Chains A and B, each alone.
Chain A
Amino acid sequence: MKEKRKMTAKEKNEAIWAYAFVAPTIIGLIVLNFYPAINTFWQSFFKTGDFGKGNTFVGLANYQKAFADPEIWQSLINTIKYAIIEVPLGVVIALILAVFLNRKLKGTSLFRTIFFLPMVCAPAAVAMVWKWLYNQQFGLFNNILHTNVAWISDPKIAWISVGIIGVWSIIGYNMVLFISGLQEIPGDYYEAAEIDGATGIRQFFDITVPLLSPTTFFIVQTRVIGALTIFDLMFMVMDKTNTALTKVESAVYVFYKYTFDQGNKGYGAAIVMILVVFIMIVTVIMQRAEKKFVFYN
C-alpha cells in the first residue's frame, strides 16, 4: 500500500462506506454460494456415512459409479430431450405472439395478460392440473379426442407430454422479453421497407429477426440453462411407480432422488458436479455461437 499513491482522506472515507455497503452481499455470497460450491465438489469424493457415522473418502468412486450408471446417462439424455422441445417451441411461438401483440391492435393487453398467466403459477400446481388433463382414463384430452393415449406413462411419448407443459408455462415469459426487444427497433426501418414495398413476412425476416437477435440469444441462453436444470415438472407429473419415469426423469430429479430420498449426499454431489460441468460446456459453446449469429449494430 505504501508504494502506491496514498489515498486522500476523502477517498479513504469513500472506500470505507463502500466496503460497509458491499459487505453483506459479499459475505453472503461467500457463505451461501462460493463455500457451498467448493463444498459440493469436496463432498463428491466422499461416501456419506450412515446414521451419523462420519463420511469416508472414496476418491473418484462416486464419479466411476455415476459414469457406469445407465440411469445417469439416461437422465442427461432426458434433460437434453426436454430442452429440445421446450426451448425452440417456446421461443418460436413466443416470438410470433410478440410480433402480433406489438402491432397496434385492440385487445393486445388482454392477450398479453392471458399468455403471461402461467408464469405466475407455481409449477407444482401447473403440473397437477396437466397431469389431470393427461389422465388416461378420465382426462380431458382422451375424452375430447376420443383417444386412449397414455400421455405420461408411455415411455415413447411421455417426454413430449412433459415438454409441452414446459412450453405452455414459458411462452409468456419469453413473449414479454421479445416485446420489449421489439420496442427498441426503430420504426423508420419498417417505414423504409414499406416504401420499398416489402411484405410483412419479408419485413419480419429482413428486419425483425436480425435486429432482434440479441434478445433472441439472451432468451435462448437463459432458457437452455433453465431447461437443463428442470426439476419441478418431472417431480410433480411423474409418479414414482410410473413406467415411463426412467425415460423422463431429469438430471436434477436424479440428483434429488439420490441426495435427499436416499440420503447419499456424496453420490448426489458427484451427479450435480457432472451436470454443472455439462452446463458450463454448453454455455461456452453458446457464447461462441453468439459471436457468429448475433447481429449487434
Chain B
Amino acid sequence: MESARTRARVTTAVIYIILIIMAFIMLVPFAWMILTALKTNQEAISVSPFYILPHNGWHWETFGEVWKSYNFVLLYKNTLLMIFFRVVCACLTATMAGYAFGRLNFPGKNFLFSLVLIQMMIPSTIFIIPQYLMVSKLGWLNTTAGLVFPGIVTAFGTYLLKTGYQGLPKDLEEAAGIDGCNIGQRFLRIMMPLTRSSMVSLGIFTALFAFKDLMWPMIVCSSVTTTTLAAGLAKAQGQFSSNYPQMMAAAVLAVVPMIVIYVIFQKQFVEGIATSGGKL
C-alpha cells in the first residue's frame, strides 16, 4: 500500500513537471513579444550582450507610438464592426433555419438540408474568387459590408442550431400550440430562448473565425484605413519590418483584446469549441 502511494505521488510529480514545461513553451512567444515591445530597438538587436529583459527602462511609450502609426483606432473599429455584423447575421439566419430543420416538417426538407451538409464539406477557398468579384461589382470593396459579405449565412451554424433544437423535448411546443400560439410565436417565445447555449457557441465561433481570418480582409479591404487587425498587421509588417519593438508592440495590441475577452468568458469559449467541435 505504501509503495502504491509513493508511485501515485511520483506519477503526479512527473505530470506536473511535463505540464509546467509545456506551459513554459507555450508562453515563451508571448513573453518574448511583450519583452521586445518594451525594449529600445538598439536593445532588441543587440547580440553581445544579448538582453532578455529590457536594460534601459521599460519603454511603454512604444505602444502609444504604434497605436498612432498603425491607426489602431480604425483597425479596432473595423474589426469590431465586422465581428458584430457577422455574429448577428450568422446567429439570426442559423437559428431560424435550424429551427425549421430541427422542428418543422415540410416538403423538400431533406434535400435542402443536404445543401447545408454539402457546403460544410467543400473547402471555402473555392468560393473566394467569385465572392470577391461580387463584392467588387456591388461597390463594396473597402467597406464593412464587403468584410461581412461571406459570413451572412452559415451552414455550420445551421447544423449546430438544428442539433440544438432537436435536443429539446417535444411536448414543450405542443403545449404552446394548444394555447393558440402560431409557429412564429412558438419559435420566438419558447424555442429560441432555450437554445441560448448553442447560440453562444456559434457567436463565439463566428467572432473568433472572423477575428483570425487574414485572406478575405486583405483582398476586399486593401486600404489600411478600412481593413481589420489581422490584415492591418500583415500590411504593417512590410512597412516597419526593421523596428522590432514597434512590430511586437503592434502584435501585442492586436492580440490583447481577444485574450482579455477569452479569459473573462473562458467557460463559454471552451464549451463552445467542445460542444460545437466546429472547423476553424
Binding site for B on A (CB under 8 A): 11, 13-15, 17-19, 21-22, 24-26, 28-30, 32-37, 39-40, 43, 93, 96-97, 100-101, 103, 105, 111-126, 128-130, 132-133, 137-138, 140, 143-144, 168, 171-173, 176-177, 179-180, 200, 218, 222, 225-226, 228-229, 231-232, 235-236, 252, 255-256, 259-260, 265, 268-269, 272-273, 275-276, 279, 283
Contact = CB atoms under 8 A, between A and B. Distances in A.
Given A22-B100, A25-B153, A121-B258, A40 B248 contact: no
In the complex, the 6 A-B pairs of residues with the closest C-beta atoms, listed nearest first: A28-B153, A36-B130, A180-B274, A25-B97, A21-B100, A18-B106
A129 B122 contact: no
A114 to B, nearest CB: 5
Given A17-B100, A115-B26, A283 B244 contact: no
A14 B104 contact: yes
- For A93, A111, A218, A228, which residue has the most chain B Cβ atoms within 10 angstroms? A111
Contacts of B44: 138
B176 interface: no
A260 B221 CA distance: 13
A116 B274 CA distance: 12
Interface string B85-104: 00000001110110111001
13 contacts: A14-B105, A14-B183, A22-B96, A24-B153, A29-B115, A40-B129, A120-B255, A121-B259, A168-B26, A226-B280, A229-B124, A235-B234, A265-B133
Interface stretch (B57-65, B66-74, B195-203, B206-214): B206-214
B214 A231 contact: yes
A125 B153 CA distance: 27
Interface string B124-149: 11111111111000000000000001
A137 B129 contact: no
Given A21-B99, A133-B32, A252-B125, A29 B149 contact: no
Nearest to B266: A113
> Majority SS of interface residues in chain B?
helix
B266 to A, nearest CB: 6
Nearest to A32: B150
A109 to B, nearest CB: 8
A24 to B, nearest CB: 5
Interface residues of B, number: 98
A39 B15 contact: no
Interface in B233-280: 233-234, 237, 244, 247-248, 250-251, 254-255, 258-259, 261-263, 266, 269-270, 273-275, 277, 279-280
Contacts, number: 265
B255 A122 contact: yes
Nearest to B235: A124
Given A25-B155, A118-B26, A260-B132, 15 more contacts: A14-B106, A15-B104, A25-B97, A40-B127, A119-B273, A121-B259, A122-B212, A123-B214, A126-B29, A130-B29, A133-B28, A168-B25, A180-B274, A229-B125, A231-B214
- For B30, B44, B130, B237, which residue has the most chain A Cβ atoms within 10 angstroms? B130
A235 B106 CA distance: 46
A117 B183 contact: no
Contacts of A112: 270
Given A39-B130, A218-B277, A117 B123 contact: no
- For A101, A122, A143, A268, which residue has the most chain B Cβ atoms within 10 angstroms? A122
B109 interface: yes
Contact of A275 (B27, B92, B125, B152): B125
A296 B93 CA distance: 34
Nearest to A251: B125
A129 B127 CA distance: 30
Given A124-B230, A275-B123, A140 B32 contact: yes
A152 B218 CA distance: 23
Contacts of B244: 132, 138
Nearest to A38: B130
A77 B15 CA distance: 37
Contacts of B254: 122, 124-125
B30 A176 contact: no
B166 interface: no
A124 B130 contact: no
Given A29-B155, A268-B129, A137 B255 contact: no
A276 B26 contact: no
